[in-house]
Amino acid sequence: MLPQDLPEVLKNFTKEVIRHDPEDVLQFSALYDNLAQVSQTLEEVVPPTLEQVRAVHAHLGGVSMTQTEAMRAACADTGVPAATVEKAFQLGAFGGGLVEPHEVLVMLVAMMGDGRKSALEANFQVFGDAEGQIDTVDFVRLFGYIAAKDPEIPASAKEEISGSLGIVEKVTLDAALANEKVKALIA
């Protein structure tokens, strides 16, 4: 079965061949096809919005583990493009079967901003309670997800942050940003 857009694809390809007049049309064809695939992928992977990530979080409730297909469905239900979800799964190196939803959400959050500080801020907006606080244990776990995927953050970061926060029940964004260990790691 031929794709419905084949005439349009051939028309565009023909225009490019005429415009570039390549010596080797077969080689040009391969390059054109690769470029088209890369362009399509770049267009499809759109960072999720804060509202979308919050909606996925709310949709999943307090589930600690879920099937990867259920996670993908929750993302799709809230408008996160499939290519974006796949990129998050790729970033997190998640396999099939079960996945920890918060870990996937942290990867989606990481795609939203322009650095570790903006990702930290967004994590508080997604996972924080009405007062903007996150349970200390959860904060350390969420930071651990980031640390595990970022080669510039040392493996000991999770334990160092846990120790530096002391014995507090909840953490605010301001407290996290004031913490010397956190500051050093998000700089």
Alpha carbon distance 58, 48 (integer Å) = 15
Q: What is the mean pLDDT of the chain?
A: 84
**Residue 14: predicted pLDDT:** 76
Token pair belonging to 104 = 């996937």
Indicate whether 51 pLDDT > 50: yes
pLDDT tens column, 117-168: 898 999 999 999 999 999 999 999 988 888 888 888 888 888 888 888 878 8
Q: Please tell me whether the overall predicted TM-score, pTM, comes out greater than 0.85 for this model.
A: no
Q: 169-183: per-residue pLDDT in tens?
A: 999 999 999 988 888
Q: Where are the domains of the chain?
A: 6-44, 46-102, 113-187
